[in-house]
Amino acid sequence: MLNYKQKKNQPVKGKRFLISVTVLGSAGPIRFVVNEEDLVAAVIETALKSYAREGRIPVLGSNLNHFMLYCPISGTEALSPWDNIGAVGVRNFMLCKKPLTENAIDGEKSPTVSRKAAGSWKTWFHKSLSLKISSH
């Protein structure tokens, strides 16, 4: 009988760090460990799986193409799904659904990024910050 044990001293590719992903409309953030070389798309997929596994509300679905990952510190532009998560340099992110717009060709609704949607997210974000800051 052979014992199969994982080697504890296996080299890890890249640095690993804990990130926090807040889902817009959810009660609290999801925290998990990622490699700095992981793609943003892989982080979105992991966040959606963790969110569903925990049974959180509202139900989001599992198609990562319907979501955008933002870094609230760096601005209102969504991160590219092909960027490395470690290149951003932060550990707190926000996951939002892409707004649905009607596709003129198919007559179906599909998620796309529009200027108006980015502006509404920006407005919501600034309002939420202003509620937390108290003046003396």
Q: Tell me whether residue 61 is in a domain.
A: yes
**Sheet-wide strand order for 30-35:** 30-35, 16-23, 92-97, 67-70
**CA dihedral defined by 89, 114, 42, 19, rounded to 10 degrees?**
40
Tell me the one-letter amino acid at 96.
C
Q: Tell me whether residue 90 is in a domain.
A: yes
Compute the Cα dihedral for 13, 19, 23, 24 and give only its sign: negative
Q: Tell me whether residue 96 is in a domain.
A: yes
Task: Identify the CA nearest to 74 among candidates 113, 33, 40.
Answer: 40
Kindly report whether the peptide bond that precedes residue 11 is cis, defined as omega within 30 degrees of 0. Answer: no
Q: Name the residue range of residue 64's domain.
A: 16-132
- Residues 6 or more apart whose Cβ sits within 8 Å of residue 19: 31, 32, 33, 34, 43, 85, 91, 92, 93
CATH of the domain at 98: 3.10.20.90
For each of the chain's 136 residues, which pLDDT tens digit applies?
445 444 455 555 678 999 999 988 888 899 999 999 999 999 999 999 999 998 888 888 888 888 999 988 877 788 999 999 988 888 999 998 888 765 545 555 555 544 444 456 666 666 666 655 555 5
> What's the confidence (pLDDT) of residue 25?
81
Q: How many domains does the chain have?
A: 1
> What's the confidence (pLDDT) of residue 18?
95
Which residues make beta-bridge pairs with 111?
A: 100
